[in-house]
Amino acid sequence: MSRSSTIAIDGPGAVGKSAVGNLLAKKLGYRFLDTGAMYRALTWLALKKHVNLEDEEALGELAATTEIDLPGSETALVLVDGQDVTREIRHPDVEAGVSLVAKAAGVRQALVVKQQRMARGGQVVMAGRDIGTVVLPDADLKIYLIASPEERARRRFLELQERGERATYANILADLKRRDRIDSERSLSPLQPADDARVVNTDGLDLEQVVAIIYDLVGDV
């Protein structure tokens, strides 16, 4: 049985899409593409250029005229018009604004085109919120990761602590619930599993266990 060549991983914020996708791609020898990093990169640029995050027309124009590249390196490099912004896109201001930017129709349309171009040729693991439903609807394997908001907030809290950033669990939980609401209720590409996605509940599982579950599915489709 042939192995899946295009793998879509979707799910809400802080569910572990990037960590799971990156490790899975390494095990398969595939390229990993974190589309969430592209939306963060555009948010970072909009903040830098003082673009109103509720001005969907301006955001769409910015997305259409900006080159965002994910070289797929071991360091998860993110480039905006050739500039390395890998660290900058993890700033709390970017995290707080990314859902507003991501719901803009022009932004999604522009970035989906870029993402589909990146996936050409296969042997790719792509993570995001609409990969299986919009970006790669014909993906060989579609995974939708879930976990309780409380568990996701705990993971994000520990992640920020490890990076030396100050945050409270309560604020993180409230922000995740806010982002879930925005992502699920947006009119274009709402957060939801594809009809043929395999739903994987990651509560109580560590990274290696989740990757092992998905790895076993790679040859079963």
- Could you report the per-residue pLDDT of 114-162, keeping only the tens digit for each? 999 999 989 999 999 999 999 999 999 999 999 999 999 999 999 889 9
Distance CA 102, CA 63 (A): 10
Give the pLDDT confidence score for residue 25 in this predicted structure: 95
* Sign of the torsion formed by the C-alpha atoms of 127, 79, 50 and 65: negative
Prediction pTM value? 0.91
Give the pLDDT confidence score for residue 1 in this predicted structure: 39
Q: Where are the domains of the chain?
A: 6-218
Residue 169 confidence class, pLDDT cut points 50, 70, 90: very high
Alpha helices in 186-220 (DSSP H): 207-218
Distance CA 49, CA 68 (A): 16
Give the pLDDT confidence score for residue 2 in this predicted structure: 56
CA dist 91 → 37, 78, 97, 137, 165 (Å): 12, 14, 10, 31, 9
Q: Are 45 and 92 in contact (CB under 8 A)?
A: no
Closest CA to 102 of 56, 143, 136, 145: 56
CATH for 6-218 is: 3.40.50.300
Q: Which tokens is 139 given?
A: 């993906």
45-78 pLDDT, tens digit per residue, is 999 999 999 999 999 999 999 999 998 655 678 9
* Burial annotation 2-21 (CB, 10 A radius, 16+ → b, else e): eebbbbbbbbbbbbbbbbbb
Segment 188-207 mean pLDDT: 94
